[in-house]
Copies of this chain bind each other. A is one copy, B any other.
């Protein structure tokens, strides 16, 4: 059994066909899909699946640390498997993204954060700009 399903079960959740499919779409489909994208993919296999089910399960998957929600500043959350720590470079014009690998951010900020006595659970970092293709001749 898929290790994501194992972790779902270990969290006390049932393995439903809907949950299998959601994980399948996240593993095999495009990265950075919105809930609606995911729901549309699912409905090709299971026409009756509900958007509410998708949201509810995505939130469960996030709470278990299996999935991450990212904000590309376009008013909707995008979801991806939490398989490797990375961040995104997002084009504000066309929405294309480039992932860049693990940062040493919490390490870098160790001193500052240490002094505050916060117990850190995570961070978000997204870099915005315009991709090569979307840069106007005038440099925008």
Q: Interface size (A, Cβ < 8 Å)?
A: 32
- Residues of chain B with a CB closer than 8 A to A127's CB: 105-106, 109, 113, 118, 120, 122-123
CB within 8 Å of B: which A92-135 residues: 92, 98, 100, 105-106, 108-109, 112-113, 116-132, 135
Copies of the chain in the assembly: 2
- Residues of chain B with a CB closer than 8 A to A129's CB: 118-122
Q: Contact: B119 with A140, CB < 8 Å?
A: yes
User: A140 to chain B: closest CB distance in Å?
Assistant: 7
How distant is the Cα of A116 from the Cα of B91 in the complex, in angstroms? 11
Taking the complex as formed, is A139 at the interface, i.e. its CB lies under 8 A from any CB of chain B?
A: yes
In the complex where A71-B71, A124-B126, A126-B124 touch, is A109 in contact with B100 (Cβ < 8 A)?
yes
Spell out A's residues near B (CB within 8 Å). Answer: 71, 89, 91-92, 98, 100, 105-106, 108-109, 112-113, 116-132, 135, 139-140
